[in-house]
Structure 1
Amino acid sequence: MTAINATMVKDLREKTGAGMMDCKAALNETAGDMEAAVDWLRTKGLAKAAKKAGRVAAEGLIGLAAEERQAALVEVNSETDFVARNDKFQEMVRTIAADALKAKGDLDKLAKGKHGGGTISVADHLKEMIGSIGENMTLRRTSYLGVKTGVVASYMHNTISPGLGKIGVIVALESTGGADKLKSFGKQVAMHIAAANPQSVDVAGLDPAFVERERAVLTEQAKESGKPAAVIEKMVEGRLRKFYEEVVLLSQAFVHDPETTVAKALAATEQSAGAPIKITGFHRFALGEGIDRPDSDFAAEVAAAASGS
C-alpha cells in the first residue's frame, strides 16, 4: 500500500480545491491513486471548489465579533444572497468573526488559523463549504480595533442575525470616562459612520494624494471664474473646508443632531463622561463594495437554464 504523504495531499488539494482532510481521506480510500482520489472526491461532491473559484462572489455577509475593549469585522462573500440566508453559511461567518478577534486584522493569519478552534483551518473549512453548498465563496477582508482603556463600539446595519448583516462598523474610543456614557456615545458614532461613510477621523488622517486630487479639481473650477490668483486661492481653501465637512468624521454634521458636528457632540460627551475622549480609529465594511460585478443578461440566463446549457 502506498504511504500517503503531505506532498500527495497538497497536490490533490491543488487539483480539486477540496479540503485537506477530505483529500487525505480520498487518498487513503484509493491507496494513493491520484486519479482515483479525484474521482472519489467528485462522487462525494467535494471537488467543486476549484471549478467555482473563478466565479464572482459579491454577495454574502459582514460578520462582527465584539467585546468591550476589542472588536473585529470580516467580509465573507458568496455568489448569491440566497446562500447568505443559509444557516450553515451564517454559522460559518459568525465563527470566522470570532476567530478574527485572535487574528487582530491579519487576513493571512485568520485564513491559516483553526476554524472555531477545531482541527482544520478557516481556509480549508471555506473550501469544504464551497463543495457542500455549491457556490464560490471568499474570505475577502478583516479588520480589528482594540483599546487599553475605553470602549470599542460597534453597529451592524441590515442585520439578518446577531452579528451578521450588510454594513458593519467598529469604532475605538480611548477614555477613562464613565463606561455607560462611552458605550452610548460610541454606538451613536458607529451608527453615524454607517450612514455618513467618512474617510478618516480627522483631516490629518486623510490620504495626502486624495486631498491633492480634490484641491486640483477645485482649483481648476475656481480658475473658470477669471478672478485673481489670490482670490482663487481663498476660494479653493473655502471649498476644501466644505469638502472636509463631507469626508472627515469630526467635521461632519452629526446624524443624530444635524445642528451640531461630531466634534462638538464629542466635546459634550466628554463633559458628561468626566474625562477626555479620543476616537482613535474606525472601520466600516459595506458588503461587496469595490467588487466588479459582470454585466449579466437575465433573459439569456433564463433561456440557457431552460435549454439545459
Structure 2
Amino acid sequence: MSTPITAALVKELRERTGAGMGDCKKALEATGGDLDKAAEKLRMDGSAKADKKASRTAAEGVLAIAGNDDAVAIVELNSETDFVAKGDDFRTLARKAAEAAHAHKPADAAALSQLKAGDVTLDEHRRTLIAKLGENMTIRRFEIVESAGGPLVTYLHPGDKIGVVIAMEAGDVELARDLAMHIAAMSPRFLDAGEISADVLATERRIIEATVAQEQADARADSEKFASALQEMDAEKQNGTYAALSDDEKKSWDDDYAMIKKKLGGGFKPKPAEILAKMIDGRTAKFIGEITLLGQPFVKNPDLTVEKLLAERKAKVARFVRFGVGEGIEKQQVDFAAEVMAQAGIKA
C-alpha cells in the first residue's frame, strides 16, 4: 500500500538526505512513499550521477585542517568551480574529511573516502553532494603532521586555497607562525638539500648543463655574426659606398660600426672547462637554495636565510607540509559560448 506523498514527507526526506525537493518527490513516488527506500534510491541515483561526472576535471576547491597538539591533518577537497567550493555543504565535507583523517590516520585518500562521518562514508557524502550540486568532486590528498616536541602550527591563507602545517623540534610559536607564512608565500619544495632526491638534482643539472652549452653556442654565433658585419662594413669603406654617404649618414654608419665593434670585442673565446664546471656548480647551488626552506631568504628579512635565522634563534624545523589547491592539476580550457551553442544545436 502506497503512502500519500505529502509536502511534509518530501521535507523529511530532504532533511535526511540533503537532496533537492524535486529529486525527493520523484524518489518517494518511485518507492510508494517509503522513506527508507526513497533514501536508498537517492543514494543510488547520486552514485550514478557521480560516476558520470568522474571524468570531469576538478581543480578548484578548498583545504581543511583538523588536529590537536599531538598531530594535525590537512586535506584537499576539489570541485570544478570556485562557486561550489565556497558553499557551506562543500566546506562541511572538507572539514569532516580532515577530522576523519586526523582521527583515523588512513593509509591514503582512497581509504579516507571509505571512513564514516556520521551514518555514511565520506565517499557517500561526496556522491550525494555531486548529485545535489551537479559537479565532480574529489578528496584528492591529505597529510598527517605529528608533533616533534616543539610548536605544531598551522596556517590557512584567506580563501582556504593555500595551507601550511609546520612541526618544530625547537623554537617558539611566534617563529613557527612566521615560518608557516613564509612557506605559504615562497613555496619551498623541500626542507633542506638532504631531502632532494638524486633524480631531481640530476635532472636539474642536465638542464643547467644544456643551458650553459647553449649560451656558449649562442655567444659563438653572435661573434661570427658581428665579425661578418664588420667585414661587410670594411668593404663598404674600400669600395666607395661609405664615401658616397651624406655627412648625417656617415655619422650613423660610424655609430653602427663602433657599436658592432664593441659587441664583438676580441671575438669569441670559449670558456675553459673548469670555468664552465664552476658555473654549473654555482647554478645548481642556487637551484637548491631556491627550492629548500633552509636555503631561501627569509621573507621578512631577505638579508637572512631561513637556515641562519633558525641558528640565531636556536630553533629547528622537523617537517612541514604545504598544499595549494589544484597545484599539479591541468585545468581544462572551456569555451562556454561554444558549449552553449552546441547544446542549443547552433553551428558556429
- Please indicate, yes or no, whether the TM-score normalized by the shorter chain is above 0.5: yes
Superposition pairs for residues 265-276 of structure 1, below 5 Å? 265-270=309-314
Match of 1:124 in 2: 124
> 3-state SS of the aligned residue for 1:251?
coil
What is the alpha-carbon distance in structure 1 between the residues aligned to residue 46 and residue 161 of structure 2? Answer: 30
What is the alpha-carbon distance in structure 1 between the residues aligned to residue 76 and residue 162 of structure 2? Answer: 10
Deviations, residues 194-245 of structure 1 (Å, cap 9, x unaligned): 1111111000101211111111122233345432222222221111221122
Q: Report the CA distance shift for 1:217/1:54 in structure 2 as closer, same or farther (over 3 A).
A: closer
Match of 1:289 in 2: 327
The more displaced of 291-300 and 205-214 is 291-300
Number of residue equivalences: 263
Match of 1:67 in 2: 68
Aligned-pair distance for 1:267? 1.6
Q: Is the 8 A contact 1:105 1:143 kept in 2?
A: no
Matched, 1:174 2:169: yes
What is the alpha-carbon distance in structure 2 between the residues aligned to residue 42 and residue 68 of structure 1? Answer: 37
Superposition pairs for residues 147-158 of structure 1, below 5 Å? 147-158=147-158
Aligned-pair distance for 1:74? 0.8
Match of 1:55 in 2: 56
The structure 2 residue matched to 1:250, chosen from 294, 312, 320, is 294
Match of 1:263 in 2: 307
Q: Report the CA distance shift for 1:232/1:240 in structure 2 as closer, same or farther (over 3 A).
A: same
What is the alpha-carbon distance in structure 1 between the residues aligned to residue 319 and residue 192 of structure 2? Answer: 10
Q: Is the 8 A contact 2:43 2:128 kept in 1?
A: no
Residue 130 of structure 1 aligns with an amino acid whose one-letter code is I
Match of 2:266 in 1: none
What is the alpha-carbon distance in structure 1 between the residues aligned to residue 211 and residue 45 of structure 2? Answer: 63
Q: Report the CA distance shift for 1:43/1:203 in structure 2 as closer, same or farther (over 3 A).
A: closer
Q: Report the CA distance shift for 1:69/1:46 in structure 2 as closer, same or farther (over 3 A).
A: closer
Q: Is the 8 A contact 1:154 1:190 kept in 2?
A: yes
> 3-state SS of the aligned residue for 1:91?
helix
Match of 1:235 in 2: 279
Aligned-pair distance for 1:266? 1.0
Residue 337 of structure 2 aligns with an amino acid whose one-letter code is A
The structure 2 residue matched to 1:204, chosen from 183, 194, 197, is 194
> 3-state SS of the aligned residue for 2:313?
helix
Q: Report the CA distance shift for 1:222/1:264 in structure 2 as closer, same or farther (over 3 A).
A: same
Residue 292 of structure 1 aligns with an amino acid whose one-letter code is E
Deviations, residues 66-113 of structure 1 (Å, cap 9, x unaligned): 423321111111111111121111111112111111243632331121
> 3-state SS of the aligned residue for 2:141?
strand
Q: Report the CA distance shift for 1:58/1:169 in structure 2 as closer, same or farther (over 3 A).
A: same
Q: Report the CA distance shift for 1:80/1:236 in structure 2 as closer, same or farther (over 3 A).
A: same
Matched, 1:89 2:90: yes
Q: Is the 8 A contact 1:57 1:136 kept in 2?
A: yes
Q: Is the 8 A contact 1:46 1:132 kept in 2?
A: no
Q: Is the 8 A contact 1:65 1:98 kept in 2?
A: yes
> 3-state SS of the aligned residue for 2:120?
coil
What is the alpha-carbon distance in structure 1 between the residues aligned to residue 45 and residue 196 of structure 2? Answer: 51
Matched, 1:213 2:185: no
Structure 1 residue runs of 5 or longer lacking an equivalent are 1-17, 31-35, 160-164, 271-276
Deviations, residues 230-274 of structure 1 (Å, cap 9, x unaligned): 22222211112211221111010001111111111112222xxxx
Q: Is the 8 A contact 1:42 1:48 kept in 2?
A: no
Deviations, residues 128-177 of structure 1 (Å, cap 9, x unaligned): 21122221111111111102511221111133xxxxx10111111113x5
Q: Is the 8 A contact 1:69 1:150 kept in 2?
A: no
Q: Is the 8 A contact 1:105 1:142 kept in 2?
A: no
What is the alpha-carbon distance in structure 2 between the residues aligned to residue 308 and residue 93 of structure 1? Answer: 40
Identity between Structure 1 and Structure 2 (%): 40
What is the alpha-carbon distance in structure 2 between the residues aligned to residue 98 and residue 42 of structure 1? Answer: 23
Aligned-pair distance for 1:40? 4.9
Match of 1:9 in 2: none
